[in-house]
Amino acid sequence: MNLMPFGLVRLLLHAPTMTATLKRPLPPNFPLPKQETERLLIERLQNSKNEEDYFRWLLFVVAFYRGIEKVDSARALLQLFLETSKEPEQKAHCHLALGQIATDEQHIETALNHFATALRFNPVKAKVGYVLHNNVSYCLNQLGRYRDAEQHCRMAIEIDSRRASAYRNLGISLEGQQNIVAAVWALVEAVKLDSTDDRAREILKRLIAEHPFLTIQCPWIEEGFTPSNTEVQSGFAI
């Protein structure tokens, strides 16, 4: 059973009562809400008082639909917003969300196109820029385009060098280019920044097994298995 996040419940309970306004349209053939939480969210969305309020509720609704695996409804709302919005930052957010949905479905080319489109809107927020470059790198790695992936990893790291995910993706792209020592360095950095990054640690273990010389040539590799940073990072990067 999918439970609704406490913050969203509180937001719905304490949101101001809507005055009579012209309801905003839903996408054609949009399914009627089947549960109370969904009904309340759609009601808040349709009765938003301005564009900023509408976009805020749109993100809540999309997150809710992703959580209950009704991604077609989420996708339809995002596409409708893209057709009507003129705000570049909001359009970038929509393409980011569409790219994440496509990634969940393993439609990597589609995801890459959405992330790349979002970047063309030049989002102002650094966090969004980081996530987009990092997610582009993830997709490019999945497609075997390791050199291009490396470039986007480095752009993400330039935006924020304190987050682990771009270092992990950098390690994957460098390994794909047969630059094993550099790949190991990037993966160690990922684990040092986030000791819960088991994906980076598992890749390190595999590389050591495949290249035993690494433990001699790179003695600092042990930092990838005994990191001091236990902070769990948050965010929506892949």
83-98 per-position pLDDT tens digit: 999 999 999 999 999 9
35-77 per-position pLDDT tens digit: 899 999 999 999 999 999 999 999 999 999 999 999 999 999 9
Would you state the pLDDT for residue 17?
46
22-36, 97-111, 186-200: the lowest-pLDDT one = 22-36
Distance CA 141, CA 170 (A): 9
111-168 per-position pLDDT tens digit: 999 999 999 999 999 999 999 999 999 999 999 999 999 999 999 999 999 999 999 9
Topology annotation, domain 32-185: 1.25.40
The two tokens of residue 104 are: 């969940």
DSSP 191-208: HHH-TT-HHHHHHHHHHH
Q: What is the pTM of this model?
A: 0.84
Helical segments of the chain, H only: 6-14, 36-46, 51-67, 71-84, 88-104, 108-120, 126-142, 146-159, 165-176, 180-193, 198-210, 214-217
Average pLDDT, the chain: 88
198-212 per-position pLDDT tens digit: 999 999 999 999 999
Q: Where are the domains of the chain?
A: 32-185
Would you state the pLDDT for residue 218?
87
> Taking 80 as the threshold, does the pLDDT of residue 233 lie above it?
no
